[in-house]
Structure 1
Amino acid sequence: MTPAAIVSKLWNYCNVLRDDGMSYGDYVEQLTYLLFLKMADERTKPPYNQKSNVPADYSWPTLVKKDGDELFDHYRHTLENLGNEKGLLGLIFNKSQNKFQDPAKLRRLIVDLIGSENWSVMSADVKGDAYEGLLEKNAQDTKSGAGQYFTPRPLIQAIVDVIAPKPGETICDPACGTGGFLLAAHDSLVDNYPHMTKDERKKLKQGTFKGWELVQSTARLCAMNLMLHGIGSDDTALPLAVSDSLAADPGDRFDIILTNPPFGKKSSTTIVGEDGKVAKEKETVERDDFWATTSNKQLNFMQHVKTLLKQHGRAAVVVPDNVLFEGGAGETIRRKLLHECDVHTVLRLPTGLFYAQGVKANVIFFDRKPASETPWTKKLWIYDLRTNMHFTLKTNPLKRSDLDEFVELYNPANRKQRTATWNEENADGRWRCYDYEDLIARDKASLDIFWLKDDSLEDSDNLPEPGVIAAEIVQDLEAALEQFRLIAEDLGEEEELS
């Protein structure tokens, strides 16, 4: 069965459950619990013959044998008890709850949908892509807020294509959400290096990736996503930590960092740690390894990424526009980053890409360098994919092919040989560079640079479709509202807004 067919089969059943009040997110979580138990049972049989880490009293066969209220009670006890386990079981089942209202519908999901497939014999591509499909559908439900953890996959693919990971390199995402960057990097290595040695393949599975995720419910989806793709399938190799990655320098250093940190200046997120303790996320991060102290999470993540990189390590970070122009700590961090790292590329992203509303974002690419009296950044290349580009989530979603020109011009094989497409004769060129001296001379060392004319302001015949205009107005209003909300929070009005 194809990934699309599996997604369709599982997702159609969600529409039945929504009549009982189950949300998309609840449904994906319940699928995660049951898929894990089913696959754990499959691995105990030939040809695998592996010992299961699931206690026998709460294994898949115990669910299949029960029905009605007895099944309901047993399923609830199974979730509670497995949530108290350590390691992988605790990560998957911590704080888990039964969200079904009807025992018959739970029974049908167990027997007819999940139980009717042998998930372990499916290739990692098939079942992994199927699960990714479910996560994307969940992200499309804007009411659930799940979209904030989901980065558009075509964008991720283009970023990984230009970063071009190699076997043996370590790869990290300190705000990994459902694991999109880690999985794309894994797929890139498998596709581009089909003749890896046995040791290289073992390292790919167990020693290449590391992710941090703050929210427990998102971390469990990430863990399942990684497992279904064949990454970290046992306790010792699970490359995922449920914690606030900004809280401290973990000491680990990586060759590559790919990340889309959560947007928003402050957060009221309740953190449930692996030990079950509840805490509130800190508003201001103070660390000795940071250049500046600020409550802006994206600026803190930029500093954190620099810390996590090995010397000559390379990073790609998705950031909102304010990171490029904000004064105060923002200016300090940009000047330090330009001096101590080679900040070589910025990709200006169009609106309409993200499920979180009001987002105008960019991707900053930089390499960490050794200490130097002279700045490492010589030239910053900018690709403008925003001006006169119109995308929507449903009618005109971003495709990987929309980023082909950027990937080609980035020239991952040799970044030193780049050619601008903008010049005085070709004023519509989307690719041009700026010298370091020009950058630091700008007000607040702003990297929010654009040069293309907006056609819709010049010629009414070039106006996009009304629906696109309406969507962009909503984006702008959402972005403005977010900025006003942050200002109000700084003025002590947070409680009235919440």
Structure 2
Amino acid sequence: MFTDEEINAIENLITEQDGRLYIRCQITGRDKIAKPEEIVRQLWIYRLMNRYNYPRDRIRVESPVYFGSSAEPRFADIVVLHEDLEHPYIIFEVKRPNRRDGLEQLKSYCNAQGSPIGVWSNGNEIIRLYKEEPNIFVEIPEIPSYGQSLRDILAQRWTIKWLEEHDELKQGKTTLKKILLDLEELVLGNAGVDVFEEVFKLIYAKLYDEWTGLNDPSYKLEFFVGDRSPAEVKRAITNLLEGAKREWPGIFEPTDRIKLRDNHLKVCVSFLEKIKLFNSNLQIIDEAFEYLIPQVSKKKEGQFFTPRPVIDMVVKMLNPKANEFVIDPACGSGGFLLHAVMWVAGGIISGKPLPENARNFAQNKIYGIDFNEKAVKIAKAINLIVGDGKSHVYKDNSLAPHTWSDETKSGLRGRLLRFPSDSVKDRENQEKFLFFDFDVLMTNPPFAGTVKERDILRLYKLAEKNGKLVDKIGRHILFLERSLQFLKPGGRMAIVLPQGLLNNTSAEYIRRFIIEEARILAVVGLHVNTFKPHTGTKTSVLFLRKYTEEEKQKIQQIRLKYEGEWEEFLENLKEKYQNLSWDSPVDEEEIPEELRSFLETYFENREEIGELPTEETEVEETDATEEKNRGKKPLAVLIQEKSELEEVLREKEEELRSAKAGRKAELKKEIKALQKKIDKLIKEISQRTLAGQISLVLNDERITEAFKKYWLDGKVMKELDYPIFFAVNEKPIKDESGEYRYKKNPDGSFVLDEHGHPVIDHDLDEIAEAFIKFAKEQLAKGDNHFDFWREKDGSI
């Protein structure tokens, strides 16, 4: 907040005495211990005297404040007196950096002393309050200077140019999220309204006010408090909201109105009036709504706003073109879609009309779907504003097209993939909305939660394991397959996934599915802090290009080439492991690598054959295991049951030899039923022992076929063998607490971009540049999977 000149002046007041640092107070002349809070106080005293020109005799420190009949006073940090040198005019509550408390304390001081102005600051942030009535405080845009009246401050009218110059989001002075935290403490927490809805209305109205100013430089902004009454402020903001609803319809109902009480609305407007929302990428709006969407909802749905540097990297790497159709099937607030428009527009979203190609792209080529109503509202609003009144953002569950609304189906019908040579498949797709022809897909799907609905599960190959439909599966896993369904053959995509999906042994079948369906272009590992404070899950961005039909045919030809070799390989295995039963000894070191890998992937687990449980522990262990494994019994219990059934079988067979004719028929039925139970137990036991698993692979037709596919997949991978771009995000976007890390100059000040906003410190831009170089190198070698980086004239 403070200039080098102010900081240097205060540093000159600091001395060392007996190993401790002291600072001389500019008002009392006494030395005080140089604690951080005291340094902030002296910085403000210096500014009051040198920028605001208040004489020293009008400034007091540690000024007593009395509350009612209380004999013990509290002490205000700084008080600027009226000209009568008796009554407080401005009261300061200062805190050490990063402290956020004290706002209520400041208001109580102002009420007790009758001071019209209160200022809170921790040296990094400032809140300036004007007391209109007891307990009703609004923020004012500036502290009055010496000789300047409060009315002079309140009566100012601003143009968009003035707002641009005085934007308090510049230089990192504050953030929209911090402003909302302050408003929650002052009014929103107890306003009795839906905070999201009311703040959204205010932001929508403010965007319209700025948009009007950007398109008419002489326009005087209406989103301000000034010296207007609460009713006058309410009238002005209501008019702006109505204008926004006319210009960008479809977000609010015609009957929607601002529900905040007039005095509460005035406080909110006073805090928002000096920030400019139309900045380089509208990131500040994302941050605000990420705060507003309840934490419980975020944790339950696992849906977190993607940091803009990650979005920028993805868009830059995928290079969407003005003539391509783009979708995000879990679009949230629409960050990927907005940045795709920015990329095509060649720069920022300023609020002014886009270039014609970017305008057409925003209006006709950008699509989004999300199941979170509030996130969709944000995405729709931003896309309407950027797209000049048009938007293709829909509220629905991308994973369940059979539940889509008529609006979603109507909006996406034109993007369905057609199958001219297969009329049955084409008709089915027109009914079920499974396959689409988007050129580019970018998404960060929700990680939390599982899908259990069978009508959804049966739509996906990944929901089937070992020939059976799973009971449940992670939502993000289905989003991976669904994303490929949205892409046309040859389309490209980027998806944020938990890193475990790319390296856990249990996820091998997912990786093989990916390799079957698409060419892997790149994998970028994100830092663990990327989605903090909401989650510390380690994530990666996976970049794919979906195979064309020709490429799939080529893969099929490779499979056919190795059919003969497979038959020979299988016969050798059968010879090696002939007469193998579930309890046969097997040397793990001698198992061929392909078979060992398949066993680990196909079978859920493996147990050692140990001692049988005693009768005392059997029930206890079985109950615990059943609870853990949904009814699965320990291997030892199954072996014991098998042994007991075999003993009963032997007795029945012995009885059969001497039984009479009538009894023989009954015994044969009983023996058949027993044998069936034993066979079932042997299969279950075999699935959990090494020898048994090998036996099943070689003798169970369905499992043998699965192994064949697995083995042939390995041959395909070796033949296709292609380079993949790998990178790791080593410089985190955020710190451990989830706050953005900004670049600093040698003097400790923020590095600012061309719009005056702090620059986030990260290495994702370098990763994107390295990928582009890699892509062009592969293109030069004839790899057309990277042809989206070819220039318009065909050059590289």
Distance 2:369 2:252 in 1: 15
| Corresponding residue of 2:386 | 231
| Corresponding residue of 1:285 | 456
Query: In 1, are the aligned partners of 2:283 and 2:308 still within 8 Å (CA)?
Result: no
| Corresponding residue of 1:436 | none
Unaligned runs of 5+ in 2: 1-162, 217-222, 402-432, 465-471, 556-715, 744-759, 781-796
| Corresponding residue of 2:721 | 378
Structure 2 counterpart SS, 1:187: helix
Partner residue of 1:244 out of 371, 380, 397 = 397
Structure 1 counterpart SS, 2:473: coil
Structure showing greater relative contact order (alpha-carbon pairs closer than 8 Å, 6 or more residues apart): 1
Cα offset, 1:314, TM superposition: 0.6
Task: Give the 5 Å matches for 1:82-161.
Answer: 91-92=251-252, 100=260, 102-109=261-268, 112=270, 125=279, 128-135=282-289, 145=298, 148-161=303-316
1:420-479 CA-partner distances (Å, limit 9, x unpaired): xxxxxxxxxxxxxxxxxxxxxxxxxxxxxxxxxxxxxxxxxxxxxxxxxxxxxxxxxxxx
In 2 relative to 1, CA 46–88 (structure 1 residues): closer, same or farther, beyond 3 Å?
Answer: closer
| Corresponding residue of 1:363 | 541
Distance 2:175 2:529 in 1: 29
Partner residue of 1:255 out of 439, 446, 450 = 439
Q: What is the root-mean-square deviation of aligned Cα atoms in Å?
A: 5.0
Distance 2:230 2:527 in 1: 51
Matched residue type, 2:448: G
Matched residue type, 2:396: S
Distance 1:148 1:23 in 2: 27
Cα offset, 1:308, TM superposition: 0.6
Structure 2 counterpart SS, 1:200: helix
1:249-302 CA-partner distances (Å, limit 9, x unpaired): 4654211111100112427xxxxxxxxxxxxx9587324464534521111011
Matched residue type, 1:243: D
Matched, 1:168 2:511: no
| Corresponding residue of 1:5 | 169
Structure 2 counterpart SS, 1:350: coil
| Corresponding residue of 2:525 | 348
Structure 2 counterpart SS, 1:149: coil
Task: Give the 5 Å matches for 1:59-458.
Answer: 91-92=251-252, 100=260, 102-109=261-268, 112=270, 125=279, 128-135=282-289, 145=298, 148-191=303-346, 200-227=357-384, 230-234=385-389, 237-248=390-401, 249=433, 251-266=435-450, 282=453, 285-288=456-459, 290-293=461-464, 295-325=473-503, 330-355=507-532, 356-371=534-549, 372-373=552-553, 374=555, 378-379=721-722, 381=724, 383-385=726-728, 392=736, 393-394=738-739, 396=741, 399=760, 401-411=762-772, 414-417=775-778
Distance 2:459 2:297 in 1: 37
In 2 relative to 1, CA 43–5 (structure 1 residues): closer, same or farther, beyond 3 Å?
Answer: closer
1:129-174 CA-partner distances (Å, limit 9, x unpaired): 55245346658x9678489431111111111111111221111111
Structure 2 counterpart SS, 1:318: strand
More displaced, 241-250 or 130-139?
130-139
Cα offset, 1:218, TM superposition: 1.5
Query: In 2, are the aligned partners of 1:205 and 1:231 still within 8 Å (CA)?
Result: yes
Matched residue type, 1:261: P
Query: In 1, are the aligned partners of 2:369 and 2:393 still within 8 Å (CA)?
Result: yes
Distance 2:196 2:336 in 1: 20
Query: In 2, are the aligned partners of 1:315 and 1:365 still within 8 Å (CA)?
Result: yes
Distance 2:537 2:256 in 1: 31
Query: In 2, are the aligned partners of 1:172 and 1:256 still within 8 Å (CA)?
Result: yes
Distance 1:218 1:22 in 2: 21
Query: In 2, are the aligned partners of 1:163 and 1:314 still within 8 Å (CA)?
Result: yes
Unaligned runs of 5+ in 1: 49-59, 268-280, 420-498
- The higher radius of gyration belongs to 2
In 2 relative to 1, CA 183–198 (structure 1 residues): closer, same or farther, beyond 3 Å?
Answer: closer
Query: In 1, are the aligned partners of 2:447 and 2:474 still within 8 Å (CA)?
Result: no
Query: In 2, are the aligned partners of 1:353 and 1:397 still within 8 Å (CA)?
Result: no
| Corresponding residue of 1:51 | none
Distance 2:194 2:254 in 1: 14
Matched residue type, 1:134: A
Distance 1:338 1:326 in 2: 16
In 2 relative to 1, CA 282–180 (structure 1 residues): closer, same or farther, beyond 3 Å?
Answer: farther
Cα offset, 1:32, TM superposition: 1.7
Distance 2:396 2:200 in 1: 21
Query: In 1, are the aligned partners of 2:362 and 2:387 still within 8 Å (CA)?
Result: yes
Give the TM-score normalised by the residue count of structure 1: 0.60
Query: In 2, are the aligned partners of 1:341 and 1:369 still within 8 Å (CA)?
Result: yes
Partner residue of 2:183 out of 5, 8, 16 = 16
Query: In 2, are the aligned partners of 1:292 and 1:332 still within 8 Å (CA)?
Result: no
Query: In 2, are the aligned partners of 1:231 and 1:238 still within 8 Å (CA)?
Result: no
Query: In 2, are the aligned partners of 1:158 and 1:407 still within 8 Å (CA)?
Result: yes
Q: Percent identity?
A: 22
Query: In 1, are the aligned partners of 2:337 and 2:366 still within 8 Å (CA)?
Result: yes
1:61-82 CA-partner distances (Å, limit 9, x unpaired): xxxx9967xx79x99xxx9x9x
Aligned length: 372
